[in-house]
Structure 1
Amino acid sequence: MKIFVDGYLLNKEHQGTKTYIRELYKEFAKQNPEISIFIGCFKDLEIEKEFSEFKNIQFVYFKTSSRVLRMFFEIPKIISEYQFNYAHFQYVMPFKTTESCKYIVTIHDILFNDFKHYFSSLYRFKRNFLFKYSAKKADFLLSVSNYSKERIKEYYKIYNKDILITPNGVNEDYFLDYNKEESENYIKNKFGAKDYILYVSRIEPRKNQQGLLSAFLELDEKNKDVELVFIGVKSINNKEFDVVLEKLNAEQKKRIHILENISDKDLLWFYKGAKIFAYPTFAEGFGIPPLEAGALKIPVLSSNKTAMTDFNFFSPNLIDINNFDLFKKRLNDILDYKDESHLNKIQNMIQQRYSWKKSAEVLLYILRN
């Protein structure tokens, strides 16, 4: 049995969909050594190294830089020539298909329909056209949360097809013991940040970096030396965030760090060295970063919106992020958080609920049935 995976996102910046492809297929390869997995991407030695322990994973290197041309011509040709039994895509599948191949599509979210004010009309139109086509045409349709599953069913009128859930998980490295002081020193020496609040996510309006920055600027006097670290690329222009940044004085700017293109290794160090992790996003199809922080026993303050209603173990720090006064209060309170037993419970809950093994088993069920 041979499966093709469109892995072009492995060449992109850190994001949830990239994590999904990487971690799902590492786990799937480990569980099913008899199944051949071919990942389509652009040649990258770091990607090869990451998958090097799996003898059943090979790479098919793309030649076409344009995604449109790739989906219309190059990928259909690859699937036909290699005679794949299955092909797995994120969000969008090719218009030209091969009869002998079954097509799997994971649609992680369609937030642009419920939160139209964060996205342009053209953005929504293009994605709705492509996502709806793919949802209807796919032999197997997947999503990552009950929230996203229900929104896809409603908007695209998916009544005659099951939508299977392959939940995101947390890499086992995030559950290992570590030295807090060593982590803090590593980040301080390499990046100059200390005693910091961490937020990991792409920078765009719905992610609400502007809300966290505003709350940070109003921290109590006792927290005046705390710093703030944003890690993520700017994917959609966030004017509100830019406006708050422009008003910062020189002293405030020293306490704020905005970083892009951090390696996975350094990202793990950032999590370990954080004082707390904040995730005040307005809308998510899932939300991996707060789970990664919680797995490392970092205190987490998270929004309770959309798919994150499932993260009830973060209570009482799972809050309505629209209540700015509550947000400020919780941000101050959690900076003094010392309940080790509660953090242990959170770690255990995440380990039980969010394992890539479960998603790999769903994928195997599709292939076997």
Structure 2
Amino acid sequence: MLNNTKTKIFVDCHVFDGNFQGTRTYIQGLYLELIKDSTKDFYLAAYDIKNLKQIFGEQDNLKYVKYYFKNPFIRLLFEIPRLIFKNKIDFAHFQYRVPPLKLCKYIVTTHDVLFEDFPEDFPRLNRFQSFLTYKFSAKISDIIFTVSEYSKIQIEKHLKVKNVVVMPNGIDDIFFEEYDKEKTVLDVKKEHGISNYILYVSRWEPRKNHHLLLKSFVNQKIYENYHLVFIGDNTFKNKDFDTLFNSLEEKIKQKIICFKRVEFEKMILLLRGSNVSVYPSRAEGFGIPPLESVAAKIPTICSNQTAMGDFDFFDNYFFNPTNQKDLDEKLNYVIENKDENLLQKREIIKQKYNWKIAAKIFNSQIEKFTDS
């Protein structure tokens, strides 16, 4: 081992202090599995450690470390190195960016480098900052994880690094839990005044293609029988969506509902109450929402591009997100026919994408250092 006691792993959990996002799901799913290993001590760090305790609980090998600064530069430059030194940490795990001062082994998870493959979808300053910090972080890290074969290839190409390890996301057990569909539909109607709706869960960026789904919803007059519900906070504005939405008649606008900042429990309720889930994104490093919706037994159609091409079990429920006609046809098909193979797909996802597999891959990389 790296020292004479338990291996100490520091985890930067600052994403739990802000709005709900994919990296939070990733850390939560992975570490709820990893902390079952009593041969390691885990140091989870955030500003709001009370929130962390509610998620991860209390146990002997789990320590909570409080950040006193929310500023990311102060946190990376000064606060985290001090905490690593103070607690004699062996490994520190970060998402995308690591501190420049290295006092232990670094693990970085780079989920994607989509700003390099789709530069038109990202502000220039964002692309420049991301490229420099992601490349530096990958270069000085001892272990580089990513979540799909697509991302591995693109990260190695653009950041000029080797030996990127694919550790796929898992789907949380809550999505596979059984529920009363009729009661859920009634609960959604009581709380939000809607029933019969098509759902898209994703933050707002141009590459997420919200406007393509809106076009399909409007042009095919799906609004006559359904609502269209979006769940996700803003990252970058989608001007195409805004232009189309603003041109619509008021009666159509009333059938389109956008939830920005949604608590996890509310998102689960809205997902379970939906008729159909659609994921029209043009570019993803992984693309977890369509897997979650299938796990929840919601008929789902999914983009077949970038990392989502790995989800070949979607079969006839795949579509090209650059082709409006293809989306129109698949959306009509799933509305009318549902999905007779939904339970089979659900089982494939349960076996292939789970946090036990991810934890096993994580530990195998750690052991290369602890066994030496």
Q: What is the TM-score of this pair, normalised by structure 1?
A: 0.95
Contact conserved, 2:303 with 2:321, CA < 8 A, in 1?
A: yes
- Structure 2 match to 1:15: 21
Q: Give 1:158 shift.
A: 1.6
What is the one-letter code of the residue matched to 1:108?
A: H
Q: Distance in 2 between matches of 1:290 and 1:13?
A: 21
Is 1:61 paired with 2:62?
Answer: no
Counterpart in the other structure of 2:159: 156
Correspondence for 1:35:
40
Q: By how many angstroms is 1:14 displaced?
A: 2.2
Alpha-carbon offset, residue 231 of structure 1: 0.4
The 5-angstrom pairing of residues 208-227 of structure 1 reads 208-220=209-221, 224-227=224-227
Does residue 168 in structure 1 map to residue 173 in structure 2?
Answer: no
Aligned residue in 2 for 1:83: 88
Alignment map for 1:198-209 (pairs within 5 Å)? 198-209=199-210
Per-residue CA deviation, residues 29-87 of structure 1 (Å, 9 max, x unaligned), is 12x13311111111153432111155432221111111011100101111011111110
Corresponding position: 1:97 with 2:102? yes
Q: Is the 8 A contact 2:299 2:339 kept in 1?
A: no
What is the DSSP-based 3-state SS (H/G/I as helix, E as strand, rest coil) of the residue aligned with 1:335? helix
Which of 173-182 and 331-340 deviates more? 331-340
Which 5+ residue runs of structure 2 have no aligned equivalent? 1-6
The counterpart of 1:113, out of the listed 116, 120, 124, is 116
Alignment of 1:1-369 (within 5 A): 1-30=7-36, 32-43=37-48, 45-52=50-57, 54-98=59-103, 101-159=104-162, 162-220=163-221, 224-340=224-340, 342-369=341-368
Q: Is this contact kept in 1: 2:198–2:276, CA < 8 A?
A: yes
* SS of residue matched to 2:111: coil
Note if contact 1:197-1:274 (Cα within 8 Å) is conserved in structure 2. yes
- Quote the Cα distance in structure 2 between the aligned partners of 1:358 and 1:69: 35
Deviates more, 1:321-330 or 1:142-151: 321-330
TM-score if structure 2 supplies the norm length? 0.94
Q: Which residue type is aligned with residue 4 of structure 1? A: F
SS in 2 for 1:298: coil
Q: Secondary structure at the match of 1:282?
A: coil
Identity of aligned residues (%): 37
1:237-267 CA-to-partner distances (Å, cap 9, x unmatched) read 1111111121122211221110022111111
State the secondary structure of the residue aligned to 1:281: coil
Indicate if the aligned counterparts of 1:204 and 1:234 stay in contact, CA closer than 8 A.
yes
Q: Indicate if the aligned counterparts of 1:15 and 1:201 stay in contact, CA closer than 8 A.
A: no
Instruction: Tell me which amino acid in the other structure corresponds to 1:303.
Output: S
Alignment correspondent of 2:3: none
Tell me by how many angstroms 1:126 deviates: 0.7
Instruction: Please report how far the alpha carbon of residue 206 of structure 1 lies from its aligned counterpart in structure 2 after TM superposition.
Output: 0.6
Q: Deviations over 1:197-236 (max 9, x none)?
A: 1111101101011111111112256x62201110000111
Amino acid at match of 2:26: Y
Corresponding residue SS for 1:65:
coil
Change (3 A) 1:156 1:347: same
Q: Structure 1 counterpart of 2:241, which letter?
A: F
